[in-house]
Amino acid sequence: MTRHDRIAVLAHGRFPDDARAAIELIRYGRPEVVAVIDTARRSPVTSQLVRTLPQIPIVREFDDVDEPVDALYVGIDLARDGPTAELSEPVRRDVRAALAAGGDVVVSRAGFPVDDPEFERLAADGGGRIVDVGAPPPGRPREDDRSADVDAEVLLTVGTDRYVGTSSTAFELVAAARERGVDAALVPMSHVGVLLEGPGVSLDRVPTGRVHDAVDGLVRERGERHDLLVVEGQGAICHPGSSGQICGLLHGARPDGLVLCHSAGRELMHGYDVDLPSIPAYVDLYERLAAPVAPTTVIAGALNTMNVATPSAAREAVDDFAERLGAPATDPLRFDADALLDAIDLG
Amino acid sequence: MTRHDRIAVLAHGRFPDDARAAIELIRYGRPEVVAVIDTARRSPVTSQLVRTLPQIPIVREFDDVDEPVDALYVGIDLARDGPTAELSEPVRRDVRAALAAGGDVVVSRAGFPVDDPEFERLAADGGGRIVDVGAPPPGRPREDDRSADVDAEVLLTVGTDRYVGTSSTAFELVAAARERGVDAALVPMSHVGVLLEGPGVSLDRVPTGRVHDAVDGLVRERGERHDLLVVEGQGAICHPGSSGQICGLLHGARPDGLVLCHSAGRELMHGYDVDLPSIPAYVDLYERLAAPVAPTTVIAGALNTMNVATPSAAREAVDDFAERLGAPATDPLRFDADALLDAIDLG
């Protein structure tokens, strides 16, 4: 993928609550986000809607972006209402406008018609491209032995539930490692991750039997070029909606270490009237499940303390989590990722 | 799906080694298989190639089938070389011929062009239909609480490795239960299973995050109409190529009991230079993984003794397996499924 320096992010109708990719692109993306495009435009700037974000203009359509950009990133889930849903007219309009202006359009979801004749013609005329950064690997799964290790240190973020920060923790870890001068790379596994550091794999587009294969391929390829890989985990081994994903990632990535992510105070499984297993039970389960294929251990923990009011209470919650975990822990978003980085063997 | 009484099964170039669905349709299918269609035609009859099969003619093309049929079932993996591979000319020819004769064409794989204009026209003219029995569920995954149990007794077959008989055991269990007069149904999860008792879900077409949802929907729907459901498991919780699938099935099906399937003498994981975990370790892992969502236990075991030469050595292997399992066991294909059926609580 061509490297983009300045981009606009499409988030029609959904910024900020349902436009996670837009937010993470602003926070962690390499290219500078010069505008968020949203027909709803709940505020003129992002920082008024999400206080931890910098002040970036929100405009109603691509033609209102008043600085030149290299690309339009589609930062919402176009397949939310089914993989064959049609693009809404505002999305079509802005994709057309971006291509007509000679820019690229970057997407990572089922739901985008990659061979739309109008888009293809506009791309050909303008010199831009439609880039799909989250496509599943082609062909049949490999079944040969892949027991051999890669040189890079490989970490995988795993959760105690859905929505506990497996993605954010991976993003923070990579950013913090780079700040320390470590040659780190994300192995993106979500819609959001591939927009940040694509090309990669958007797991929601991969059939179950291919997850191990998809992550294995990326780990091998990037493991040759970097010293630290952080595989963006998705969900929890006991959550029905994500257990299959994380299981495939665990066996496919063959990580040297796991970072267990949890949300302070979370007791019931997301969407289920079921108690979350204890932290030690989770550590045990992840390690047992990995052991037959590639033994690994939980080396650190990341606690999301967003719902904890004061910093001192958050510190206390982190300490308590570390104790139950039997490993160092932090809230990488609220504090910093030092405790995680210190736990990594970068020999 | 219309019930078919007499069918032909397409297996071009691949019967018997790579035409599992054709074999299982002959063994377990409700409709009578009157011919296998294979351009390679390695023998005039199936029983000369697979000695446990009845004697069914093998012909080179649909027009050579000399008895009338209701439908042509596509019994090979059309997507083997990628989901967008084109149909080979012999496949196209026979699909055309079946539709032209007014029959249905039943498929369950990615790789079949469901809206092919020529096929659609022929179907419209002849009165037949193209039936896709393995399509993934449409729309978004449900995330509401699904803790409530279904009335039917639900079993799930789980493996110690790939290719140890999770499908065959499920097929045998359903057949044996019906022989005892139990109202049993398969919950099919494979290409083969959906051709046998479709419509269902062919897991290789379901994205990882949807497996639990797909199986849950089928279990609920069929659980209202039957007393015993056997969910066709796929692979093993420690095999990278299938761990995600079986994990999603375990959490999505919420089975009342598990049947652990193993292959006699298997020590290394299929395709990996890795020792298989012990039988007790597997029992422990499956039960631990299920516990937080819906506790279940391994109630019986199925041992594939195909590679054991004598019946007495096979009996010995089964006894040894039962002992390590701490539960009754059998080889349902070589002996019978009584030990499995006796272990089921049909109260």
Average pLDDT over residues B135-156: 73
Q: Closest to A241 (Cβ–Cβ): which among B143, B284, B288?
A: B143
pLDDT-derived band at A325, boundaries 50, 70, 90: very high
pLDDT the model gives residue B67 = 93
CATH code assigned at A321? 3.40.50.300
Select the highest-mean-pLDDT range: A11-25, A30-44, A134-148. Answer: A30-44
Both B220 and B275 in a single domain? yes
User: By C-alpha distance, which of B80, B62, B79 is closest to B71?
Assistant: B62
User: By C-alpha distance, which of A87, A86, A29, A19 is closest to A50?
Assistant: A19
Average pLDDT over residues B290-295: 92
Q: Closest to A248 (Cβ–Cβ): which among B80, B141, B243?
A: B243
pLDDT-derived band at A6, boundaries 50, 70, 90: very high
Both A162 and A31 in a single domain? no
Q: Closest to B144 (Cβ–Cβ): which among A242, A271, A274?
A: A271
Number of domains within chain A: 2
pLDDT the model gives residue B55 = 95
Check B248 against A240: CB less than 8 A apart.
Answer: yes
| Smallest CA–CA distance from B83 into chain A, residue | A139
A311 inside domain: yes
pLDDT-derived band at B168, boundaries 50, 70, 90: very high
What rounded mean pLDDT belongs to chain B? Answer: 90
pLDDT the model gives residue A247 = 94
End position of a domain, from candidates A79, A97, A132: A132
Q: Closest to B145 (Cβ–Cβ): which among A147, A271, A293?
A: A271
Both B12 and B101 in a single domain? yes
CATH code assigned at B66? 3.40.50.720
Both B125 and B229 in a single domain? no
Residues of A in contact with B245 (CB under 8 A): 208-209, 244
Check A241 against B141: CB less than 8 A apart.
Answer: yes
Question: In this predicted model, what pLDDT tens digit does every residue of B74-119 receive, in sequence order?
Answer: 988 776 655 555 788 999 999 999 999 999 999 876 678 767 899 9
With a cut of 80, say whether residue A146 has pLDDT above it.
Answer: no
A291 inside domain: yes
Both B324 and B191 in a single domain? yes
Least confidently predicted of A77-91, B90-104, B201-215: A77-91
Question: For residues A45 and A36, what is the distance between their CA atoms, to the nearest angstrom?
Answer: 9
Are the CB atoms for A174 and A219 separated by under 8 Å? no
Both B233 and B173 in a single domain? yes
| Distance (Å) of CA B97 to CA A326, B62, B227 | 67, 6, 40
Check A207 against B209: CB less than 8 A apart.
Answer: no
Question: In this predicted model, what pLDDT tens digit does every residue of A292-313 receive, in sequence order?
Answer: 999 999 999 999 999 999 999 9
With a cut of 80, say whether residue A61 has pLDDT above it.
Answer: yes
Both B203 and B338 in a single domain? yes
With a cut of 60, say whether residue B298 has pLDDT above it.
Answer: yes
Both A122 and A241 in a single domain? no
pLDDT-derived band at B295, boundaries 50, 70, 90: very high
User: By C-alpha distance, which of B242, B266, B243, B255 is closest to B321?
Assistant: B266
B336 inside domain: yes
Residues of A in contact with B140 (CB under 8 A): 80-82
Residues of chain B above pLDDT 70, percent: 93
Higher-pLDDT residue of B79 and B247 is: B247
Average pLDDT over residues A238-250: 92
Candidates B109, B158, B247: best to mutate against A (most CBs of A within 10 A) is B247
Residues of chain B above pLDDT 90, percent: 68
Beta strands A257-263 and B6-10, pairing class: unpaired
Both B92 and B166 in a single domain? no
Both B169 and B317 in a single domain? yes
B141 inside domain: no
With a cut of 60, say whether residue A147 has pLDDT above it.
Answer: no
pLDDT-derived band at B165, boundaries 50, 70, 90: very high
Question: For residues A231 and A34, what is the distance between their CA atoms, to the nearest angstrom?
Answer: 28
pLDDT-derived band at A10, boundaries 50, 70, 90: very high
pLDDT-derived band at A137, boundaries 50, 70, 90: confident
A111 inside domain: yes
- Name the amino acid, one letter, at A161: D
Residues of B in contact with A292 (CB under 8 A): 238, 269, 274-277, 281
Check A238 against B248: CB less than 8 A apart.
Answer: no
A223 inside domain: yes
Are the CB atoms for B73 and B106 separated by under 8 Å? yes
Are the CB atoms for B314 and B308 separated by under 8 Å? yes
pLDDT the model gives residue B146 = 60
With a cut of 70, say whether residue A29 has pLDDT above it.
Answer: yes
pLDDT the model gives residue B202 = 83
pLDDT the model gives residue B30 = 87
DSSP helix/strand/coil, B66? coil
Check A211 against B213: CB less than 8 A apart.
Answer: no
- Name the amino acid, one letter, at B284: D
A137 inside domain: no
Beta strands A153-159 and A257-263, pairing class: parallel
pLDDT the model gives residue A83 = 52
B1 inside domain: no
Average pLDDT over residues A20-46: 93
Range of the domain at A206: 153-342
Higher-pLDDT residue of B300 and A29 is: B300
Helix pair B211-223, A243-253: axis angle to 10 deg: 140
Question: For residues A195 and A24, what is the distance between their CA atoms, to the nearest angstrom?
Answer: 9
Question: For residues A258 and A64, what is the distance between their CA atoms, to the nearest angstrom?
Answer: 44
Both B193 and B312 in a single domain? yes
DSSP A97-135: HHHHTT-EEEE-STTS-TT-HHHHHHHHHHT--EEES-P
With a cut of 90, say whether residue B136 has pLDDT above it.
Answer: no
Both B173 and B90 in a single domain? no
Residues of A in contact with B239 (CB under 8 A): 251
Run of H or E residues at B318:
helix B311-325
Average pLDDT over residues A264-272: 91
pLDDT the model gives residue B273 = 84
Rounded to a whole number, what is the distance in Å from the CA of A197 to chain B's nearest CA? Answer: 21
Average pLDDT over residues A89-115: 88
pLDDT the model gives residue B124 = 93
With a cut of 70, say whether residue A121 has pLDDT above it.
Answer: yes
How many CB pairs (< 8 A) connect A and B? 162
**What is the b/e burial string over A262-283, where b = at least 16 CB atoms within 10 angstroms of the residue's CB?**
bbbebeebbbbebebbebeebb
pLDDT the model gives residue A169 = 97
Question: In this predicted model, what pLDDT tens digit does every residue of B8-50 receive, in sequence order?
Answer: 999 999 999 888 889 999 999 889 999 999 999 999 999 999 9
Check A141 against B241: CB less than 8 A apart.
Answer: yes
pLDDT the model gives residue B16 = 92
pLDDT the model gives residue A201 = 84
Question: For residues B22 and B37, what is the distance between their CA atoms, to the nearest angstrom?
Answer: 10
